[in-house]
Amino acid sequence: MKRAGKNKSGLFVLWSLSFVIFSLTSSSFSSLPGDRARENILASWGQRQEFESFLASKRAAIVQEYMEFLAIPNVAADRENMRRNALFIQAMLERRGVRASLIEQEGCPPLVCGELVVPGASKTLLLYAHYDGQPVNPSEWTSPPWKPVLRDGLLEEGGKEIPVSVLEKSSGEEFRLYARSASDDKAPIMAVAAALDFLRSRSLELSINVKFLFEGEEEAGSPHLLGLLEKNKSLLSGHGILLCDGPVHQTRRPQIVFGARGMLDLEMTVYGPKRALHSGHYGNWAPNPAALLANLLATMRDSRGKILIENFYGDVVPLTAEERQAIAEAPQIDALLLQEFELAWSEDQKYRLEQRIMLPAMNIRGLESGHVEEKAANAIPTEAKASVDFRLVPHQTPQKVRELVEKHFLKQGFHIVDSTPDRETRLKHPRLVKLEWGEGYPPARTPMSAPFAKAVVHSLEKVAGPSLIKMPSLGGSIPMRGIMDVLEIDAILLPIVNHDNNQHGPNENLRLQNLWEGIALFSSLFAGLGKHWL
């Protein structure tokens, strides 16, 4: 994975990574209290019966079409197949009456755009997903990654391959469709297409105009996306955007997320003697860079994760009452996470996970100096390195955080350099630290009180009722803000896939109940959003 900072618009790599972490940790969550795997969130939806009879007649056809889509290899660098994917999506959309086109640019897969103009609709919703997938190592897969296989359950639980025709008789909630990108991230594209089929089959009008935006380079860091958006601003204008990627909550309850943390990364190098010195002959005399660095890090963050840098929390905006309420309503999973990770404590037990990820964080992601264990030498090392990533929350900015951190280092008596110090500099400054900053990107947050947010919640709760989890922000980081700034609109994340989907890994899969629920969620959005979006 490229270092976020170094790549100007490493857009969603961290997104999917942050969601990978979610999915990795959740295989054991199917036994969560209130686990609704056995319930049907559609129970309270007014269209439920219509929808289930639609599904009964269409399930097999939907999965068949999806398997054709999944059978096209989709690694961003594979230009020929990426074009085949883009043309497949264009045809999928056109079959549903969507005016679709490919925005092509040298050096990147096509951006697939589509537009559905609805007479009388006053609002336009943009909908983003990506059709490229993570590279694969076929030898690690049970069945080839681009030869989609339907199984009647999880491989690990003895799931057996079955023909699609089984879906003519069975709703297949717990069936799993195995293929690269079955979950990350072709699923929302298929769910959206099937939602249009459902509405049309019941002559249900859309209440909004919809513009589709399907990218083919997300897993490669989306290096061209913001530029393409900038160039096609008028074509892609709208009133709000849904970013459709990632898994639902570990309890299998649907969730929407109103923001993401920003990110800034830093490589620090503290210097000691020009060459490694005998710790016996020179200990307590020659400055030890490892000790200097350890002391410096301890002045930045305490053992409970509190950042000690002066004024670091100065720009942090407190959560609104609505955001606090949303977190309070989300299922508590701390105890299970501690079990899962075999941890006796979390950094600040007064607060639950969802509260902690609403604050900025300083993560020490790596330390390096001298050697340890059998390689250890009784020497004072020449330098010590630390790799740090900061997570930012509204209204922090990467620039301001950088200033505060550098001010802190100066206050600690360090002289800052941005390249390896020469002899003169080393002889002049007792404490030297080289800093290599990533570019980072700011946090994003759509207020839950925003008309777009309220309308989306209203439409989704029509389907999911009170089981819809509303999360003010993702703990992970994606430069969601980049899209919001270029297109000047609010953004909301709407994941639909199952958390235990192995995304990015071998045997990626999609649980069919998540696909069915995804189709229902998009159907309700398209049909109802305009009525509540003031």
The Cα–Cα gap between 6 and 440 comes to 8
Instruction: Using CB under 5 A, count the residues that bind Zn ion.
Output: 4
CB of 464 to Zn ion, least distance (A): 22
**Which three-class secondary structure state does DSSP give residue 103?**
strand
CB of 415 to Zn ion, least distance (A): 42
Region 273-292 residues binding Zn ion, contact defined as CB under 5 A: none
Q: Which residues contact 328 (CB under 8 A, 6 or more apart)?
A: none
Question: Based on CB atoms, which residue is closest to Zn ion, 245 or 389?
Answer: 245
Amino acid identity of residue 119, one-letter, is P
Q: Which residue is nearest to Zn ion (CB)?
A: 16
Q: Where are the beta strands (DSSP E) in 340-405?
A: 361-369, 379-380, 383-392
Question: Based on CB atoms, which residue is closest to Zn ion, 132 or 490?
Answer: 132
Amino acid identity of residue 2, one-letter, is K
Q: Which stretch binds Zn ion (CB under 5 A): 9-17, 107-115, 197-205, 506-514?
A: 9-17
CB of 12 to Zn ion, least distance (A): 6
How many CB atoms sit inside 10 A of residue 418's CB?
A: 8
**Which three-class secondary structure state does DSSP give residue 280?**
helix
Question: Based on CB atoms, which residue is closest to Zn ion, 45 or 441?
Answer: 441
508 near Zn ion, judged by CB under 5 A? no
Q: Which residues contact 335 (CB under 8 A, 6 or more apart)?
A: none
Closest CA to 175 of 506, 516, 513: 513
Question: Based on CB atoms, which residue is closest to Zn ion, 110 or 133?
Answer: 133
Question: Based on CB atoms, which residue is closest to Zn ion, 185 or 265?
Answer: 185
CB of 133 to Zn ion, least distance (A): 8
Q: Which residues contact 247 (CB under 8 A, 6 or more apart)?
A: 19, 22, 23, 26, 183, 495, 497, 498, 499, 501, 503
CB of 178 to Zn ion, least distance (A): 17
The Cα–Cα gap between 493 and 520 comes to 17
Question: Based on CB atoms, which residue is closest to Zn ion, 72 or 270?
Answer: 72
Region 150-209 residues binding Zn ion, contact defined as CB under 5 A: 184-185
CB of 390 to Zn ion, least distance (A): 23
CB of 392 to Zn ion, least distance (A): 21
Binding residue (CB under 5 A) for Zn ion from 245, 265, 354, 490 = 245
Binding residue (CB under 5 A) for Zn ion from 16, 90, 181, 255 = 16
Amino acid identity of residue 396, one-letter, is Q
Q: Which ranges in 8-47 belong to alpha helices (H)?
A: 13-24
CB of 370 to Zn ion, least distance (A): 39
Q: Tokens 């694969």 — which residue?
A: 136
Question: What is the DSSP code (8-state) at residue 497?
Answer: B
Question: Based on CB atoms, which residue is closest to Zn ion, 16 or 523?
Answer: 16
Question: Is 312 within 8 Å of 300 (Cβ atoms)?
Answer: no
CA-based radius of gyration for the chain: 25
Q: Where are the beta strands (DSSP E) in 29-171?
A: 99-105, 108-116, 124-130, 149-151
How many CB atoms sit inside 10 A of residue 321's CB?
A: 10
Question: Based on CB atoms, which residue is closest to Zn ion, 16 or 250?
Answer: 16
CB of 14 to Zn ion, least distance (A): 10
Q: Which stretch binds Zn ion (CB under 5 A): 10-18, 149-157, 294-302, 380-388?
A: 10-18
Q: Which stretch binds Zn ion (CB under 5 A): 1-9, 11-19, 47-55, 256-264?
A: 11-19
Question: Based on CB atoms, which residue is closest to Zn ion, 182 or 463?
Answer: 182
Question: Is 469 within 8 Å of 327 (Cβ atoms)?
Answer: no
Question: Based on CB atoms, which residue is closest to Zn ion, 223 or 447?
Answer: 223
Q: Which stretch binds Zn ion (CB under 5 A): 237-245, 376-384, 387-395, 417-425?
A: 237-245
CB of 394 to Zn ion, least distance (A): 24
Site residues for Zn ion per CB under 5 A: 16, 184-185, 245
